[in-house]
Amino acid sequence: MNNKQTNIFCIPVLVGALGYFVDIYDLLLFSIIRVPSLKSMGLTDELIKTEGMRIINIQMLGLLIGGIIWGVLGDKKGRLKVLFGSILLYSLANIANGFVTNATQYAWLRFITGIGLAGELGASITLVSEILSKEKRGIGTSLVAGIGLSGAVAAYFVSRYFDWHTCYFIGGGLGLALLLLRVSVYESHMFEQVSTKKISRGNFFLFFTNAKRFKKYLLSILIGLPNWYVIGILITFSKEFGAAFHIKEPVNAGKAVMYAYVGISIGDIATGLISQWLRSRKKVLYIFYALTAVSIFLYFQQQQGDANNMYWICALLGFSTGFWAILVTMAAEQFGTNLRATAATTVPNMVRGSLNLITLLFVSLQTAFDYIESAWVTGIVIMIIAIVSAIYTQETFGKDLDYIEED
């Protein structure tokens, strides 16, 4: 079977988009219902802030570990098996999340959920990249991410009409329903060819045994740091920043997440189209880095502002960091078929996992600066790292993916 599709609306793209929709719904649900769910467990406002940060960091640790597990399995066992396994795990874990009664249980189940959530996007992007023609894969992967990221919007509106327990049950149910669509998706022909050869597949340590390969892998991670600085710090804790900015009415963190992800969803589709127009991945990164810098600046100019302005700036921040699809596509394009799923799955989850280090920097700076100053100094550091990394990253637009990595 020839997998070089020219139709960007083929079944693998649609299933990948729906899978990522549920993935993002479940991933961002905690950020949206963090306050009401922890408040229902009797936590004070201060504990909601500290425990909320701890739980989201533990969830990100699960994503980091899960990224390695699912990435290796994607190259050893196939892209479809990872899609099935990851969706099943995060669906069951989210249903279990609806039964937690204290912060410790919450943290453990978000960790398990994180492991499950780690596999879906990388497997989908790898599959779509290998199935679509090289001229269309950038648009296809952007559709997967753009449609999928709207899952955060769905999570917000579900949270408006149902209590937090039911929100988790709905997420788990959507994931289980999605498994029924998996039967219509076929495996990547590139993977099937490689699977019959006696070569090393899914060897995570290959990223570290060759200096050139390690450099590509590290740069692939560092160029994505602004995404989770924005999402994990500025958006997730928009309620706390609103209070620090002396915004007149309390900022609804869930609403801020919803606005941000509307922006991210539009941005991800835009980056795919712009990349196709410019015939470049790197030029798109530079454009959106500039937009991100402007958006961050505006975010910190909200003293005595109002909540509506905060929501619109969150939307602009989201649009500006809407290069997630380009990030994962570049990770897939950087490496051979025998290591591609490992790269495409671990890289975005290493970026997500980097939130632990970003928050560590943010919290550490608070010994010398106030809350707001610590956040913008953290942002400056993150943006400098990302821009320098992008300069040294290889251009991958139009690259032929039918090759393997040597040991």
Tell me whether residue 380 is in a domain.
yes
Residue 125 has pLDDT above 90, yes or no: no
User: What average pLDDT does this structure show over 349-365?
Assistant: 91
Band (pLDDT 50/70/90 cuts) for residue 256 is: very high
Res 115 pLDDT > 80: yes
Candidates 237, 226, 223; CA nearest to 296 is 226
Coil, helix or strand for 321?
coil
Report yes or no on 195 lying in a domain.
no
* Structural domain contains residue 35: yes
- Does the structure show a pLDDT above 70 at 184? no
pLDDT bucket at 110, cuts 50 / 70 / 90: very high
Residue 402 within any structural domain of the chain = no
CATH code of 350's domain: 1.20.1250.20
| Per-chain mean pLDDT for the chain | 89
pLDDT at position 97 is 94
The answer to whether the beta carbons of residues 310 and 251 sit under 8 Å apart is yes
Q: Report the candidate in 156, 158, 25 with the shortest Cα–Cα distance to residue 90.
A: 25
Q: Is the pLDDT of residue 179 over 90?
A: no
Q: Is 4 inside a domain boundary?
A: no
* 315 token code pair: 């939307």
Average pLDDT over residues 156-178: 93
State which amino acid sits at residue 99: F
Buried b / exposed e across 155-189, counting CB within 10 Å, b at 16+?
bbebbeeeebeebbbbbbebbbebeeeeeebebbe
Return the sign of the alpha-carbon dihedral for residues 230, 232, 233, 235.
Answer: positive
5 falls within a domain: no
The band of 182, judged by pLDDT with boundaries at 50, 70 and 90, is low
Q: Check residue 2 and give its pLDDT.
A: 46
pLDDT (average), residues 342-347:
91
**Model confidence at 207: pLDDT above 70:** yes
The answer to whether 110 touches 170, Cβ cutoff 8 Å, is no
Check: CB of residue 63 under 8 Å from CB of residue 118. Answer: yes
Count up the domains in the chain and report the number.
Answer: 1
Model pLDDT, residue 346: 92
Mean pLDDT, range 215-238, rounded to an integer: 95
Higher model confidence: residue 115 or residue 123?
115
Position 1 confidence tier, pLDDT thresholds 50, 70, 90: very low
Max distance between CA atoms of the chain, in angstroms, equals: 65
Average pLDDT over every residue of 365-388:
96
pLDDT tens profile 23-68 = 889 888 998 898 899 999 999 888 998 898 899 889 988 988 998 9
Q: Show the domain range for 89.
A: 11-187+208-392
pLDDT attached to residue 183: 64
Strand partners, 5: 132
- Model confidence at 366, pLDDT cuts 50, 70, 90, reads very high
pLDDT tens string 81-99: 888 899 899 999 999 999 9
Percent of the chain with pLDDT over 70: 97
The per-residue pLDDT for 195 is 74
Residue 202 in any domain: the answer is no
Q: Which of 15-29, 190-204, 299-313 has the lowest mean pLDDT?
A: 190-204
Give the whole-number percent of the chain exceeding pLDDT 90: 55
- Write down the pLDDT at residue 6: 61
Residue 197 lies in a domain: no
Contacts of 355 by beta carbon, 8 Å cutoff, 6+ apart: 56, 57, 60, 228, 229, 232, 233
